[in-house]
Amino acid sequence: MSDCCSARRARSGDERFDLVVLGAGSAGFSATITAAEQGARVALIGHGTIGGTCVNVGCVPSKALIRAAEAVHHANGAAGRFAGIQGEARVVDWRAQAAQKDALVDSLRQAKYEDLLPAYDNVVHHEGRARLVAGGVEAGGKRFNADRIIIATGTRPAMPAIPGMAAISALDSTGALALTELPGSMIVLGGGYVGAELAQTFARVGVAVTLVFRSRLLPEAEPEIGEALAGYLADEGIAVLGDLAYDAVRRTAGGVSLTVRRNGRDETVTAEQILVATGRTANTEGLGLAEAGIAQTPTGAIAVDDRMRTSRPGVYAAGDVTGRDQFVYMAAYGARLAARNALNGDSLRYDNRTMPGVVFTDPQVGSVGLTEARARAAGHDVRTSVLTLDNVPRALAARDTRGLIKLVADRSTRRLLGAHILAPEGADSIQTAAMAIRCDLTIDDLSETIFPYLTTVEGLKLAAQTFDRDIKKLSCCAG
């Protein structure tokens, strides 16, 4: 969006602001709106498409395509699940699906970003590359003077240092979501949530997918969940190759080939396209961080403390550029906190103890709190329960028992420390566990709480009961 459509154009010459925010994505908007609602005069400086990663090239387009692929998959699988039911679906025009996705992105960007700015008279929006200078920021030949600055410039996909990678024009997640024609085959590089989601999505719409990763699938998740999900992906025809090292990649007449080393032997995987989903890198080039004395982490992210302060007084950072908790809702949360601290005296601390995380595979992964390994590392005497979904009535009625629920608790206090769900509707259940952990509930509290029957979330109650009882000996809704 150009300056002329913004809330207020930045005038020529120097101007003084209470706060300057760098980055017009979710974190930048969150900081800007928070400060503006407090009456502060704010300069919001963006570069690139307004709205940032989530709405444009991340959460929104990926989840739209994931749901479309689910519709195809479940229609074709209906006959195997339900007696007397026959269904069939296939992709006949991926370009049309891509256009529908783009229309959704455009509408949400307009409603949630572009149309918001005119509502704030005390916000000036300016498009241009920003650089920190003494007393403020310079961007596009203009100077914005302020004692308080928030950097929220986000991240972009990173390419791994694999020999030959620079020569093959690999897809990243942004490029993959923009495809209007489907390749016949694809290598997906990376076993994190982006790789897992996109591998399954493209496989479900007819692409022959090989998913490769260095260690295990979803390395931050509970091992039981990653192992089970890898099996479900394999059941759908995805070739899942883990615990390997990347040797080299090169272009071939038919596409690309990737050489990996696994179990002491070299293996070569070929496909028409390769999608790299191995991580992201912070957008910090040209900001003048070193000259400003702002420290960065070994990965290049901006280092912040628990008040969102950088190593330079008066300069804060929030969102993905910090390398921390790269979820859009955590970017917005951290940015709100940064804005309030910048304007009100640094009294608020960043707290991610009950941050829920979701992976939109099918089945979905929902996690909150500590894993078993992290709980033990934190010094807890740990108890766990693992309940497979064939013990959850909702899964039986839906004829889809893929998944499990794992709870982590402290043995002495019986306080719930973590909850991890792998289930077709797991994403909508994790917030109940998040509230339980936030309120310091015990596994007894969960066991004694009334849950609605034939819901996925009822599995939390059953998993809590499993700590001390054999739920196979209980009737429906008993306990």
Of the two residues 73 and 473, the one the predictor is more confident about is 73
Residue 12 pLDDT more than 90? Answer: no
Mean pLDDT of 319-346: 97
In angstroms, the CA 125 to CA 209 distance is 43
H or E segment at 460?
helix 458-465
Q: What percent of the chain lies above the pLDDT cut of 90?
A: 94
Give yes or no for a contact between 164 and 268, defined as CB atoms under 8 angstroms apart: no
Which tokens belong to 98?
């891509």
End-to-end C-alpha distance for the chain, whole angstroms: 57
Question: In this predicted structure, what is the pLDDT of residue 14?
Answer: 72
Packed helices 328-344 and 26-37: angle between N→C axes, nearest 10 degrees: 40
For 154-182, how does the pLDDT look when each residue is reduced to its tens digit (9 = 90+)?
999 999 999 999 999 899 999 999 999 99
pLDDT band at 416 (very low <50, low <70, confident <90, very high): very high
Instruction: Determine how β-strand 239-241 pairs with β-strand 245-252.
Output: unpaired
- DSSP letters, 108-153, are HHIIIIITTGGG-TTEEEEES-EEEETTEEEETTEEEE-S-EEE--
Which tokens belong to 82?
């339900």
Phi, psi dihedrals of residue 309, rounded to the nearest 5°? -85, 140
For 224-268, how does the pLDDT look when each residue is reduced to its tens digit (9 = 90+)?
999 999 999 999 999 999 999 999 999 999 999 999 999 999 999
Give which of 191, 199, 192 is closest to 65, Cα–Cα.
199
Question: In this predicted structure, what is the pLDDT of residue 244?
Answer: 96
Give yes or no for a contact between 371 and 420, defined as CB atoms under 8 angstroms apart: yes
Question: In this predicted structure, what is the pLDDT of residue 7?
Answer: 47
Question: In this predicted structure, what is the pLDDT of residue 478?
Answer: 59
Mean pLDDT of 378-387: 98
Task: Specify which residues 121 forms β-bridges with.
Answer: none
Residue 358 pLDDT more than 50? Answer: yes
Give yes or no for a contact between 134 and 147, defined as CB atoms under 8 angstroms apart: no
Lowest mean pLDDT among 5-19, 225-239, 240-254, 336-350: 5-19
Question: In whole numbers, what is the pLDDT of the chain averaged over residues?
Answer: 95
For 191-207, how does the pLDDT look when each residue is reduced to its tens digit (9 = 90+)?
999 999 999 999 999 99
In angstroms, the CA 419 to CA 442 distance is 12
pLDDT band at 15 (very low <50, low <70, confident <90, very high): confident
Question: In this predicted structure, what is the pLDDT of residue 5?
Answer: 38
Residue 219 pLDDT more than 80? Answer: yes
Question: In this predicted structure, what is the pLDDT of residue 479?
Answer: 58
In angstroms, the CA 142 to CA 126 distance is 9
Give which of 192, 197, 191 is closest to 176, Cα–Cα.
197
In angstroms, the CA 41 to CA 116 distance is 16
Phi, psi dihedrals of residue 142, rounded to the nearest 5°? -115, 155
Residue 295 pLDDT more than 70? Answer: yes
Phi, psi dihedrals of residue 317, rounded to the nearest 5°? -140, 150
Residue 31 pLDDT more than 80? Answer: yes
Instruction: Give the chain's radius of gyration (CA, Å).
Output: 24
Q: What percent of the chain lies above the pLDDT cut of 70?
A: 97
Omega prior to 160 cis, within 30 of 0: no
In angstroms, the CA 175 to CA 98 distance is 12
In angstroms, the CA 320 to CA 323 distance is 5
H or E segment at 416?
strand 416-423
Mean pLDDT of 414-433: 96
Give yes or no for a contact between 437 and 419, defined as CB atoms under 8 angstroms apart: yes
Residue 6 pLDDT more than 90? Answer: no
In angstroms, the CA 222 to CA 228 distance is 10
Residue 444 pLDDT more than 60? Answer: yes
Give the CB-side neighbour count of residue 404, counting CA atoms within 13 A: 18
- Residue 475: CB atoms within 10 A of its CB come to 6
Q: For each of the domains in the chain, give its residue range(s) and CATH number, in order of start.
A: 3-55+99-157+281-344 (3.50.50.60), 165-278 (3.50.50.60), 357-470 (3.30.390.30)
Whole-angstrom CA distances from 320 to 123, 229, 404, 418 are 23, 27, 30, 24
Task: Specify which residues 357 forms β-bridges with.
Answer: 367
Output the CA torsion sign for 427, 348, 319, 124. Answer: positive
Give yes or no for a contact between 477 and 458, defined as CB atoms under 8 angstroms apart: no
For 128-141, how does the pLDDT look when each residue is reduced to its tens digit (9 = 90+)?
999 999 999 999 89
Mean pLDDT of 392-415: 97
Give yes or no for a contact between 23 and 319, defined as CB atoms under 8 angstroms apart: yes
Residue 355 pLDDT more than 50? Answer: yes
